[in-house]
């Protein structure tokens, strides 16, 4: 059987089942992207939409694997280096006067973004008073994030990114290499915690000075984007920073009025009351 593409009706049916059976709501995800991911699963596993419907209804373990397959987890250290350059220039100097700093990386995937933040904070001599939280819905990538172990062949690109971000050292200062893998050093990992959090259904869990959420909102429709930005607003301390990166912006006028724009290109905002 050749599966061309799941149709809109079948997709809607799956979304309802996933919501009713597993309590997980995909209805505000961008339909085009979700459709692409589900079609990929059908094609790889040679399933019909009906087979998938049965599996999602009757096999709770299958749902966990499905969730892992339909989320896009591409990431790298210092991805979009100019974003990190901007953090160095605009945010870190401002944070110097704080006694305690809490940083949340929402949709952290396998942790490279959060470790990049931890390195920036270490280089600005802020690490010892900072705590870093990384969250995602995908439990598989969170395991990689917690281990802090990455393929050695990824480090070339990571190192180039790091240099372009305004590197103060050699990236190898922050990891140890063994055979074909590298392991992030304890000095960078010790104030870092990864856990599961769903931006669609879970609420505020702390008050942060910095929240970074990049390459996640692009998968949501505009209603869900607004809901999540409201969640970030509520999770920020006053004058805290929201970092969305170059692909995502705050479009809703009510929401944008509650932030000061710090860097328009990299979509870095500061909460104002």
Ligand X SMILES: C[S@@+](CC[C@H](N)C(=O)[O-])C[C@H]1O[C@@H](n2cnc3c(N)ncnc32)[C@H](O)[C@@H]1O
Q: Which residues ranging from 170 to 229 are in contact with ligand X (CB under 6 A)?
A: 198-200, 214-216, 219
Nearer to ligand X, 52 or 224 (CB): 224
Token pair 């001599």: residue:
125
Q: Which of 27, 73, 246, 249 binds ligand X (CB under 6 A)?
A: 73
Least separation in angstroms between residue 185's CB and ligand X is 21
Q: Is the alpha carbon torsion for 45, 8, 231, 225 positive or negative?
A: positive
- Is 113 an interacting residue with respect to ligand X (CB under 6 A)? yes
Cα distance between residue 11 and residue 143, in whole Å: 29
- Tell me which residue of 220, 181, 178 sits closest to 199, measured CA to CA: 220
Q: Of the ranges 31-39, 132-140, 177-185, 236-244, which one interacts with ligand X (CB under 6 A)? A: 132-140
Q: Is the alpha carbon torsion for 109, 110, 116, 119 positive or negative?
A: positive
- Is 109 an interacting residue with respect to ligand X (CB under 6 A)? yes
Cα distance between residue 142 and residue 118, in whole Å: 17
Phi, psi (5° rounding) for residue 33? -70, -40
Least separation in angstroms between residue 29's CB and ligand X is 8
- Tell me which residue of 102, 76, 114, 193 sits closest to 146, measured CA to CA: 193
Nearer to ligand X, 65 or 73 (CB): 73
Least separation in angstroms between residue 181's CB and ligand X is 20
Residues making contact with ligand X (CB under 6 A): 71-75, 79, 107-109, 113, 136-138, 141, 198-200, 214-216, 219
């Amino acid at each position: 059987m050749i599966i061309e593409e799941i149709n809109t009706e079948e997709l809607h049916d799956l979304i309802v089942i996933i919501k009713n059976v597993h309590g997980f709501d995909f209805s505000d995800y961008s339909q085009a992207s979700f459709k692409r991911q589900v079609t990929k699963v059908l094609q790889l596993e040679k399933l019909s939409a009906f087979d998938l419907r049965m599996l999602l209804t009757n096999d709770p373990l299958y749902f966990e694997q499905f969730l892992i397959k339909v989320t896009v987890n591409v990431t790298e250290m210092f991805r979009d280096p100019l974003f990190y350059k901007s953090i160095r220039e605009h945010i870190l100097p401002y944070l110097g006067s704080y006694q305690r700093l809490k940083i949340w990386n929402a949709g952290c995937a396998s942790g490279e973004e959060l470790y990049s933040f931890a390195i920036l904070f270490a280089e600005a001599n802020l690490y010892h008073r900072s705590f870093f939280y990384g969250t995602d819905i995908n439990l598989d990538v969170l395991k990689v994030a917690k281990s802090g172990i990455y393929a050695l062949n990824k480090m070339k690109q990571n190192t180039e990114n790091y240099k372009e971000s305004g590197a103060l050292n050699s990236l190898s200062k922050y990891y140890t290499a063994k055979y074909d893998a590298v392991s992030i050093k304890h000095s960078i990992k010790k104030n870092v915690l990864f856990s599961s959090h769903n931006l669609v259904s879970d609420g505020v869990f702390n008050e942060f000075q910095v929240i970074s959420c990049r390459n996640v909102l692009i998968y949501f429709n505009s209603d869900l984007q607004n809901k999540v930005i409201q969640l970030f607003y509520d999770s920020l301390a006053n004058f805290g920073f929201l970092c969305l990166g170059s692909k995502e912006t705050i479009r809703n006028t009510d929401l944008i009025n509650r932030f000061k724009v710090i860097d328009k290109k990299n979509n870095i905002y500061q909460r104002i009351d």
